Structure 1
Amino acid sequence: MHGGEGRHEPEDLFLRWQLAPSAVHRTWRRGRATAVLADRRRGRSLVAVGDPGEAAALVAEVLDEAAPEVVTLVRGTVEVLAERAPETAARLVGGDDWDWFWTDAAPPQHLAGEDDVVALDVGTGRAPGPDAARVRDLLAAANPRSSVRPGDPHARLWAGVRRGDDVVACIASTSDDGGPAPHLAAVATHPGLRGRGLGAAVTAAVTRRLLAEHPVVTLGMYADNDVARRLYGRLGWRCSHRFSSRRVRPLPPVA
């Protein structure tokens, strides 16, 4: 195991495309596992990829030194920690399981409904645009767990489908953790209009647009969303990482 500055281009797809190199503080390796300490939008994070068993040993060894607010660990690492390092596992609380996807190829066929996808004007947090309230209402009804909402400074593009005065489908392109690839988030379709291809249309249209300017586009989804998993698979997206993210409970102060 060794530490480093993490300024090289990593081989791992998530580390390469999701994280901003300037935000990486340290890198550790153990066998087939790599851990990276980086500033991410949800706070200072320790990200561990590779073999879950070796990742668990690495996290147990460096957690105190790294002192992250959040850990994002390859799926299975939390369970190994619970078995082999229960004191470390007990400090990891809350959070979600989620999957990370990437693509470097636009959908091969132009989908019905793509021509209806338009840019949305949500404005900024201080100066909301005319579509901000409509998108908030849609997300509240269709995707209340969305990590991105109108006014988020990381969102560089909002697109969607209108029906009259309403926005019935939407998607956002964000800079997320500042990495070199745009990241899709806030995918939502009005519950009353699901099954009509609107989610596929907005995802395909924005993916096509972004790949005209970038070599790779990424996205994340909650692990229990099987409908979204099937949609992204049909559009050619590839899931390369299955993660568990947890908050880190700090050690109590020494008396």
Structure 2
Amino acid sequence: MAGPRELRSLDDVRAAANGDPLLLWAAGDLLGGARAFFLGEAAAVAAPGLSGRDRLAVTGPADAAAALIRALLPRLGPTFRPLGDESLVRDLVTRLPGLEFVDAFGWMQTDTATGHGDAASWLTPSDDQDVARLLDEAFPNSHARPGRPGVRRWAGVREASGALSACAADAWSAPGVGFLAGVAAAERARGRGAGTAVCGLVLDRLVADHGMAALMVDGWNTAAVRLYRRLGLSWRPLAAARVADPVHHP
């Protein structure tokens, strides 16, 4: 079989990946640092620094996807983590020595406005310190942070006292897929609708601007998954793998 061929446009990625939103999201910076490839019926997009990691989104039949990932990883380097449907990633780990399973989680998406953003508003750079403090308190592991590359804008809900009680970001959005990240709510505000409002505002803008909005969430975070389902997002099981550390895997 011939080696991988590179894709040069989003239209090419859309055709090779059968319109897979995950790959279209990863290909959002195709004119910058991202690169896309196909081999047989499989397609993959290598996106450095996407939502905090070097990601290698992949789709297609397992045999073709394995051949594509096998060819790409030596070229891209060990920091790139294969990302795709959970069943595919688990299959890749069994087929490719040196690749190990990392975690399973969910991709959630919608192409319909939620209508739940009235109580939230868009923030300005003068609010960045308040956002950072809220993230430190409620979501310290957030990849989205004020000022980080790819993080475009923040929305928030403030209490009558002026304190920021919830925030969410438009971050790493692509032309056809807007992305929600950095969702956090203060403990005192949980259960009062602040998270619903801030997510609703960002999701509605992403749908309006990009045609689709998506996010990634851990399956164990049942409260967040319930919130996103109430807002109309559907669940898709994803997983990630990585090149095993040779120090620990001789």
Task: Tell me whether the two structures share a fold, i.e. TM-score over 0.5.
Answer: yes
| Cα drift, residue 247 of structure 1 | 6.1
Q: TM-score by structure 2 length?
A: 0.78
Of the three residues 165, 190, 198, the one matched with 1:168 is: 165
Instruction: Deviation per CA, 1:214-241: give whole Å up to 9, x if none.
Output: 3122222233322211211111112345
Work out the number of aligned pairs and report it. Answer: 234
Q: Which residue of 1 aligns with 2:118?
A: 115
Alignment of 1:1-255 (within 5 A): 2-7=3-8, 8-10=12-14, 11-20=19-28, 21-22=30-31, 23-31=33-41, 33-41=42-50, 42=52, 44-51=54-61, 55-74=65-84, 75-77=86-88, 79-86=90-97, 88-89=98-99, 92=100, 96-107=103-114, 110-111=115-116, 114-121=117-124, 123=125, 129=126, 131-163=127-159, 164-174=161-171, 176=172, 179-240=175-236, 242-246=238-242, 249=245
Q: Which residue of 2 aligns with 1:126?
A: none
Q: Which runs of 5+ in 1 are unaligned?
A: 124-128
Quick one: distance in 2 between partners of 1:84 and 1:3? Answer: 18
Letter in 2 for 1:165: G
Which protein is richer in helix relative to its size?
A: 2
Structure 1's 141 and 243: CA in aligned 2 closer, same or farther, altered over 3 A? same
Check the 8 A contact 2:175/2:210 in 1, yes or no: no
| Cα drift, residue 15 of structure 1 | 1.2
Check the 8 A contact 1:96/1:246 in 2, yes or no: no
Instruction: Deviation per CA, 1:14-49: give whole Å up to 9, x if none.
Output: 112342232443413355x43333434346543222
Structure 1's 26 and 132: CA in aligned 2 closer, same or farther, altered over 3 A? closer
Instruction: Deviation per CA, 1:73-95: give whole Å up to 9, x if none.
Output: 22245544554443x12xx58x6
Q: TM-score by structure 1 length?
A: 0.77
SS at match of 1:116: coil
- What is the Cα-based RMSD across aligned positions, in Å? 2.9
